């Protein structure tokens, strides 16, 4: 398996990446303190945690700062404090020229499309590695970390970041450099990977809730209904033991198999394509040092726990969890997680009720001030499971201070046809006086409030051209 997924090209690219990492690590080593600046999502938090642990082990002092996006204002503010060294993780590649012009002494560890050049810049795109599917910000930071010392035990955090960025979704398993990191983790006994049901919540939820909350795939008549979920399981002879429903991890292998088969049959008979049905199963990643039945045991649940902190202005709590706090910070994160879940459900309900506005090459919804700008992208991604037209990318708007936040999500069928949301959004945002960036499959922007219609027109045209040319 490993041979097929990691071909010679990848191995060579990893070697050049490691060489560049050596150069960046030599530069870091010359300093006694650093400011770590990172992004407010699961990948950004795990990137920062890997960096902080690495610096701690190397005897270098550090402080941290988390940002929604790296813009001119935040960069000026950083420069005004004259840090000895700034290490950007999971962001920075879009602002290389500005970083240079502000004369910041920086190391940039990122996986977003780069604009410009910088001496100490580690980014997969520079080595022909795909930053949306083969390595995330946390993976790049991990490669740097290994150049600074023996830090293979941090592979588990790198995998949580990659899963948080949904890098395993394209093939139902991690590929490319992520695979190499996974092997490091397995060899160091910090994680395990295996094929299993992909539904969310296997460690922590009573298993009927996995059906009730299943968004991808959307189970018609079951998703959203507690009664229908329990009924489905009862029909195939599976119910609770005594008073309590068991969790997925408490079930026997036979019972698991029985549920998976019944679910597959159900999906096929509801008209789902065979390809989508197979998406019920995929690779899952278990963190072996964590207690069973807790969010942090499963990479996917861990990343959601982290998103519940930093996306709500509590990056300090998420970072403390990544650094190992399983007491106070973990409890605080769990409380935030309940809020986050509630917000996601409310957001999805709003989108369902409001529906999508259709244009020729895209569909969009405007949540106004009803969905927080920091989670509107997650809601847009989740809503793809129930939108009627799956052949158009989803664009979402949310009010933001001084403008509008845009999020967009595509799918791999559209990418094969030529869609590149990162490029389209960057151009359309720039044309209306905003800024944007991201990947082919998911991108975002910040635009002026009165520019929405013009932006939509430009974006619709740009996406149309991308898909027609190819
Ligand atoms: O900022 P960053 O690169 O870390 O974010 C990547 C984003 O792309 C994540 O929000 C992730 O959910 C999204 N994504 C997606 N579908 C995929 C791959 C990534 O929505 N198949
Ligand atoms: O915010 P959202 O989850 O929609 O972001 C999707 C992708 O677009 C992420 O990779 C994010 O880093 C990127 N993005 C960006 N510039 C923005 C907003 C989002 O590069 N202004
Ligand atoms: Zn990332």
pLDDT digits (tens, 9 = 90+) for 62-112: 999 999 989 999 999 999 998 999 999 999 999 999 999 999 999 999 999
Ligand 2 close to Cβ of residue 438 (< 6 A): yes
pLDDT over 70 (residue 400) = yes
For residue 59, what are the β-bridge partners? none
Specify the range with the lowest mean pLDDT, choosing from 243-257, 304-318, 406-420: 243-257
Ligand 1 close to Cβ of residue 442 (< 6 A): yes
Determine the average pLDDT of the residues in 307-322: 98
Tell how far the Cα of 432 is from the centroid of ligand 1, in angstroms: 24
For residue 194, what are the β-bridge partners? 284
Long-range own/partner contacts, residues 356-360 (CB < 8 A, 24 or more apart): 356/387, 356/388, 356/389, 356/394, 358/389, 358/392, 359/392, 359/456, 359/460, 360/460, 360/464
Complete edge-to-edge strand list for the sheet that includes strand 106-109: 61-67, 33-39, 86-89, 106-109, 121-122
Q: What is the pLDDT of residue 52?
A: 98
Tell how far the Cα of 254 is from the centroid of ligand 1, in angstroms: 34
Q: What is the pLDDT of residue 172?
A: 92
Closest CA relative to residue 123, chosen from 103, 98, 154, 94? 94
Two tokens at 116?
A: 């410009």
Tell how far the Cα of 233 is from the centroid of ligand 3, in angstroms: 37
The answer to whether 137 and 159 are in contact (CB under 8 A) is no
Two tokens at 30?
A: 């010359």
Interatomic CA distance for residues 214 and 218, integer angstroms: 6
Question: Higher pLDDT residue, 170 or 315?
Answer: 315
Tell how far the Cα of 336 is from the centroid of ligand 2, in angstroms: 22
Determine the average pLDDT of the residues in 358-366: 98
pLDDT over 70 (residue 3) = no
Ligand 2 close to Cβ of residue 437 (< 6 A): yes
Interatomic CA distance for residues 436 and 36, integer angstroms: 23
Per-residue pLDDT tens digits for 258-292: 999 999 999 999 888 888 888 899 999 999 999 99
Specify the range with the lowest mean pLDDT, choosing from 6-10, 255-259, 402-406: 6-10
Two tokens at 130?
A: 């795909």
| pLDDT > 90: percent of the chain | 84
The number of the ligand 1 atom at minimal distance from the alpha carbon of 91 is 1
The number of the ligand 1 atom at minimal distance from the alpha carbon of 381 is 20
Determine the average pLDDT of the residues in 325-350: 96
Q: How many CB atoms lie within 10 A of CB 328?
A: 10
Determine the average pLDDT of the residues in 239-248: 80
The number of the ligand 2 atom at minimal distance from the alpha carbon of 437 is 20
pLDDT over 80 (residue 9) = no
pLDDT over 50 (residue 25) = yes
Q: What is the pLDDT of residue 2?
A: 43
Two tokens at 216?
A: 């991808």
User: pTM of the prediction?
Assistant: 0.94
Q: What is the pLDDT of residue 79?
A: 96
Q: What is the pLDDT of residue 249?
A: 93
The number of the ligand 1 atom at minimal distance from the alpha carbon of 111 is 3
Per-residue pLDDT tens digits for 199-230: 999 999 999 999 998 877 788 889 888 999 99
Task: Specify the length of the chain in residues.
Answer: 470
Sorted by sequence, the CB contacts under 8 Å of residue 191 that are 6+ apart come out as: 155, 156, 159, 182, 185, 285, 286, 287, 288, 299
The answer to whether 301 and 203 are in contact (CB under 8 A) is yes
Residues 311, 314, 319: CA angle, nearest 5 degrees: 100
Specify the range with the lowest mean pLDDT, choosing from 196-200, 215-219, 446-450: 215-219
Sorted by sequence, the CB contacts under 8 Å of residue 315 that are 6+ apart come out as: 40, 45, 64, 66, 309
Confidence of residue 39 (pLDDT cuts 50, 70, 90): very high
The answer to whether 303 and 320 are in contact (CB under 8 A) is no
Tell how far the Cα of 32 is from the centroid of ligand 1, in angstroms: 34
Mean pLDDT of the chain, nearest integer: 94
pLDDT over 50 (residue 147) = yes
Q: Domains plus CATH for the chain?
A: 8-189 (3.90.1640.30), 207-339 (no CATH), 355-469 (3.10.310.40)
Mutation choice for ligand 1 from 166, 215, 311, 444, CB with most ligand atoms inside 8 A: 166
């Amino acid at each position: 398996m490993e041979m097929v997924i990691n071909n010679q090209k990848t191995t060579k690219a990893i070697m050049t990446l490691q060489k560049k990492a050596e150069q960046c690590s030599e530069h870091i080593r010359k300093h006694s303190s650093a400011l770590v600046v990172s992004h407010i999502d699961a990948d950004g938090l795990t990137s920062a945690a890997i960096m902080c642990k690495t610096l701690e082990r190397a005897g270098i002092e550090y402080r941290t700062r988390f940002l929604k996006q790296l813009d001119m204002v935040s960069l000026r503010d950083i420069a005004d404090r004259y840090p000895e060294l700034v290490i950007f993780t999971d962001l920075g590649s879009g602002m290389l020229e500005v970083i240079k012009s502000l004369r910041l002494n920086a190391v940039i560890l990122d996986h977003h499309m780069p604009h410009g050049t910088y001496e100490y810049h580690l980014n997969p795109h520079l080595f022909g590695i795909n930053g949306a599917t083969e390595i995330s910000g946390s993976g790049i930071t991990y490669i740097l970390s290994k150049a600074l010392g023996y830090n293979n035990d941090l592979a588990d955090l790198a995998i949580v970041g990659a899963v948080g960025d949904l890098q395993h979704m394209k093939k139902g398993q991690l590929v490319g450099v992520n695979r190499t990191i996974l092997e490091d983790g397995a060899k160091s006994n910090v994680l395990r990977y295996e094929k299993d049901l992909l539904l969310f919540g296997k460690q922590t939820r009573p298993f009927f809730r996995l059906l009730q909350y299943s968004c991808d795939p959307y189970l018609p008549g079951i998703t959203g209904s507690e009664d229908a979920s329990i009924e489905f399981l009862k029909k195939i002879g599976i119910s609770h033991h005594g008073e309590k429903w068991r969790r997925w991890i408490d079930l026997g292998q036979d019972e698991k198999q029985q549920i998976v088969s019944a679910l597959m049959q159900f999906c096929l008979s509801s008209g789902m394509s065979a390809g989508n049905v197979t998406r019920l199963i995929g690779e899952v990643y278990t963190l072996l040092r964590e207690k069973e039945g807790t969010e942090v045991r499963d990479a996917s649940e861990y990343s959601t726990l982290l998103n519940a902190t930093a996306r709500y202005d509590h990056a300090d709590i998420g970072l403390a969890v990544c650094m190992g706090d399983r007491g106070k910070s973990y409890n605080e994160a769990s409380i935030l997680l309940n809020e986050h879940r509630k917000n996601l459900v409310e957001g999805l309900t709003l989108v369902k009720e409001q529906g999508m506005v259709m244009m020729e090459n895209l569909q969009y919804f405007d949540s106004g001030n009803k969905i927080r700008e920091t989670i509107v992208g997650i809601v847009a991604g989740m809503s793809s499971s129930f939108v009627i037209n799956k052949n158009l990318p989803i664009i979402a708007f949310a009010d933001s201070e001084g403008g509008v936040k845009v999020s967009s999500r595509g799918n791999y069928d559209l990418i094969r046809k030529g869609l590149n949301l990162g490029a389209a959004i960057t151009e359309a945002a720039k044309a209306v006086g905003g800024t944007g960036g991201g990947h082919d499959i998911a991108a975002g922007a910040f635009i002026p409030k009165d520019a929405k219609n013009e932006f939509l027109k430009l974006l619709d045209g740009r996406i149309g051209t991308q898909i027609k040319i190819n």
